[in-house]
Structure 1
Amino acid sequence: MTPEPERAAAPQADALSAEAPSAGLRVGIVCPYSYDVPGGVQFHVRDLAEALIARGHDVSVLVPADDDTPVPPYMTSAGRAVAVPYNGSVARMTFGPRTAARVRRWLEAGEFDVLHLHEPVTPSLSMLALWLAQGPVVATFHTALVRSRALQVAYPLVRQSLEKISARIAVSEDARRTLTEHLGGDAVVIPNGVYVDAFSDAPTDPRWTGTPEAPTVAFLGRLDEPRKGLQVLVQAVPRVLERFPGARFLVAGRGDQGRADAIEALGDAASSVEFLGSITDDEKAALLSSVDVYVAPQIGGESFGIVLVEAMSAGSCVVASDLGAFRRVLDEGRAGALFSVGDPGALADALSDVLADAPRRAALVEHARRWVTRYDWSTVTAQVLAVYDMVLETRAAHGRVAQDPDAGAGPGAGLWPRLVESRREGETR
């Protein structure tokens, strides 16, 4: 049995009311990617569902999963998924007539006030649900790509159905840009969420705690995916060891071939690298709370950087590649050190510099501690609920107009265009 997966900006958020709708909404959430394999979208969907449930809403999540995969009681399995190359990774998705029938039954049984689809143009459950949807639809877009062949292929399949979407959310400016350039329209940016306290309160583990002579550096990610940048870190390790011979590198994540390739490339430096394999939620929190530095050497395909937020929450100093998404999560380098994407030498220098400069490291950690509160689920959930509230009010206003044209559209009409426009105005200030 596969264990349950690990838990994983201003103008847009400010435009959303902090007041959430009253408890009691029936919310259906659709996740396109399989719950069998950990991933950022799955973590986001799970945590959002649990945050909504904690606020008194009735939530049902539809997700691909094998029959023997344990899922929480609020999740419904749509059946086995197949592996499909996507966005530099391998996504596990499900599609076809049998799956469509399951989606239809779930929608009919749910009678949802709001249907919240994640990645609705990905050929999986969310696309099927969009085709079949009848009521208010909110869509969240996670993908960030300069050019996406997959989106170009999928667009004709969903072009007309996209009109069903009442409100669009992007998890970052990078994801929003991908959406607008490939599909048109616009979206409000609401970031991924993290339970900050779960990481800030996590105990340290003596196995992973560093010392000035033997600092510890952590990396988490799929070892077989080049875009996660393990190969960049591997090339940087020998250079860091020249300045810090006692440094230890703790690498967590799945991928036997990636591990074997890394060990071969490390050569004599392999003795300083410990491969932890897949770790649990509690172990991840303890690891991030224990190490001196968390390194994120990704080379592309990142729309947000949830593990950076987790590391900041845990009090680890972050060193990350200078991707647009990472820069924004790290407050343009004020909440973590940045280095040139894909440059092992630049990574080695940035990592060595923060290890050698304890006051600077402490300053980065302190700024990150304050900055990270905007990503806490308490804040993010309120913003998502405000979008639900806006969609429902707009729908109710349109219903009143349909019944009585002289009544006017009411206060809900036009909220979405005004919300998007407020973001544009905020960007130009």
Structure 2
Amino acid sequence: MRVGLVCPYSFDAYGGVQLHVRDLAEELLHRGHHVSVLAPAEDSTPVPDYVVPSGRSVPIPYNGSIARLNFGPVVGARVRRWVEQGAFDLVHLHEPFIPSLSMLALWAADGPVVGTFHTAMERSRGLRAISPVVVPMLEKITGRIAVSAEARRTLVEHLGGDAVVVPNGVYVDKFADAGCDPRWTGTPERPTVAFLGRLDEQRKGLPILAAAVGEVLATVPGARFLVAGRGEATEERALLDRYGDSVTFLGGITDEEKARLFRSADVYVAPQTGGESFGIVLVEAMAGGALVVASDIPAFQAVLDSGSAGRLFRRGDPASLARTLVEALSHRGEAESVRRRARTTVQRYDWSSVTDQILGVYDMVLSTAHAPVREDPRSRTMYGRLRAATERPWA
């Protein structure tokens, strides 16, 4: 099968969606399929052979983060050329309502199309404003996937329609088999608590953790906090400096170091305040053997099976986080029982299972298709784009 994958976010700086697209592409290639990935990337950015760079991206604030997107007539021409030359049996778009490559590819493609929706949000004036334009275009999508119940809810409430839930994937064995790093390995006297996230992105929750550290150390004075991720976080660093070597900033870490961190730490803490549709990092930490302590946002509750595969605390509450961390570090027998349940839970997120589910959607879409993907002739003109965005010729 010839599959075209479209990622709206730049491969110049990896995030969850980019990693999902990359891993799915490699799993499909491993299974013998032909795969081409279209994604924003600078010409100088090293990308895998199967990635076709679409050019420079522009950083835009989105859903509490920064999304690097590209758009415009030049990019649109590249998208049409990729569709025309790809001879794809199916095109799989990620985040098709984001004004970037996936939306352009949706305009340009005519034929079997699958869309995966990753975003979760409580409300969005922007999405509501563009829904009269976007909803008719979404009729071109034959099969819809949401990575979580929260992402499905966002799709249904803001854009209508429905989607099958297929979670993000993780190579479980990669984390389970990673070696420990003695610098980060906890002991009964000096247990380690790891945090990983963009330090200057408020919704990742570093200020919540920083406010909880003092109370944890008052009860577990040997605890060590390992803070990994890029960003300045000047205020949090100043607040945590008072705790000396009890807090270590690791800076940005590689994928290999991340696996060793989760294999070494006693606890992984995820104090995010919202804007998460899934929580792939929780699954990675569980696969590595760390006990996960996470805020009780809906996406994290789902991943942790309402607390049976990890520990939940009240979102945005440092005191609740401190109490939960103290319990996790003090009751090691109970913590080990939770870890065992987590090791079973993560198997459902292994790429072997997730890819089977995605291929099931592909088979359903192809079973109703009458022709492979081709370029939609209406995409060549501005009038055609406007008509495609405002009429419902595919209903």
Same fold by TM-score, threshold 0.5 exceeded? yes
Q: Say whether 1:73 aligns with 2:49.
A: yes
Distance (whole Å) between structure 1 residues aligned to residue 41 and residue 32 of structure 2: 26
Take 2:160 and 2:225, find their aligned partners in 1: how far apart are those partners? 43
Per-residue deviation, 1:261: 1.8
Give the letter for the 1:389 counterpart: D
Contact 2:313 2:321 in 1 (8 A): yes
The DSSP-based 3-state class of the residue aligned with 1:395 is coil
Does 1:388 pair with 2:350? no
Q: Name the structure 1 match of 2:246.
A: 272
User: Is it true that 1:372 corresponds to 2:346 in the alignment?
Assistant: yes
Residue 197 of structure 1 corresponds to: 173
The answer to whether the Cα contact below 8 Å between 1:166 and 1:391 also exists between their aligned partners in 2 is: yes
Query: In structure 1, which of residues 165, 185, 191 is the aligned counterpart of residue 161 of structure 2?
Result: 185
Task: Find the residue that maps to 1:159 and give its secondary structure.
Answer: helix
- Does the alignment pair 1:351 with 2:335? no
Partner Cα distance (2:49, 2:241) in 1: 47
SS of match in other structure, 1:160: helix
1:313 positional shift: 0.4
d(CA) in 2 for partners of 1:133 and 1:157?
A: 17
CA distances 1:260-287 after superposition (whole Å, capped 9, x unpaired): 2211122512532111111111100000
Q: Does 1:146 align with 2:122?
A: yes
Runs of 5+ unmatched residues, structure 2: 372-395
2:275 match: 301
Partner residue in 2 for 1:92: 68
1:172 maps to 2:148? yes
The separation in 1 between residues aligned to 2:188 and 2:127, in whole angstroms, is 48
Counterpart of 1:33? 9
1:19-418 pair list within 5 angstroms: 25-256=1-232, 258=233, 260-396=234-370
Cα deviation, residue 26, structure 1: 0.3
Residue-by-residue CA offset, 1:44-90 (whole Å, 9 max, x unaligned) = 00001101111100000000011111000000000000000000001
Q: Is the 8 A contact 1:86 1:150 kept in 2?
A: no
Distance 1:91 1:343, change over 3 A: same
| 1:196/1:376 contact within 8 Å kept | yes
Query: Following the alignment from structure 1 to structure 2, what is the Cα–Cα distance between the partners of residues 157 and 74?
Result: 32
Alpha-carbon distance, 1:146 to partner = 0.8
**Within 1, Cα distance between the matches of 2:241 and 2:230?**
21
Equivalent-residue separation in structure 2 for 1:396 and 1:93 (angstroms): 33
- After TM superposition, the structure 1 stretch with the greater mean CA deviation from structure 2, 271-280 or 93-102, is 271-280
Please give the alpha-carbon distance, in whole angstroms, between the structure 1 residues aligned to 2:130 and 2:263: 41
1:161 offset after TM fit, Å? Answer: 1.3
Look up the match of 2:379: none
The residue type paired with residue 222 of structure 1 is R
Q: Map Cα deviations across residues 296-335 of structure 1 (whole Å, 9 max, x no partner).
A: 0000000000000000100110000001110110011000
Q: Secondary structure at the match of 2:142?
A: strand
Amino acid at match of 1:378: S
TM-score between the two structures when normalised by the length of structure 2 = 0.92
Q: Distance in 2 between matches of 1:270 and 1:169?
A: 47
The percentage of aligned residue pairs carrying the same residue is 64
Aligned-pair distance for 1:152? 2.1
Instruction: Provide, for residues 84-140 of structure 1, a one-character-per-residue CA deviation record: whole Å limited to 9, x for no partner.
Output: 000000110000000101101111110111100000000000000001111100000
Alignment-mate amino acid for residue 319 of structure 2: G
Residue identity matched to 2:187: T
Displaced runs of 4+ in structure 1, greater than 3 A? none
5+ residue gaps, structure 1: 1-24, 398-429
In structure 1, the partner of 2:376 is none
CA-atom RMSD, angstroms? 1.1
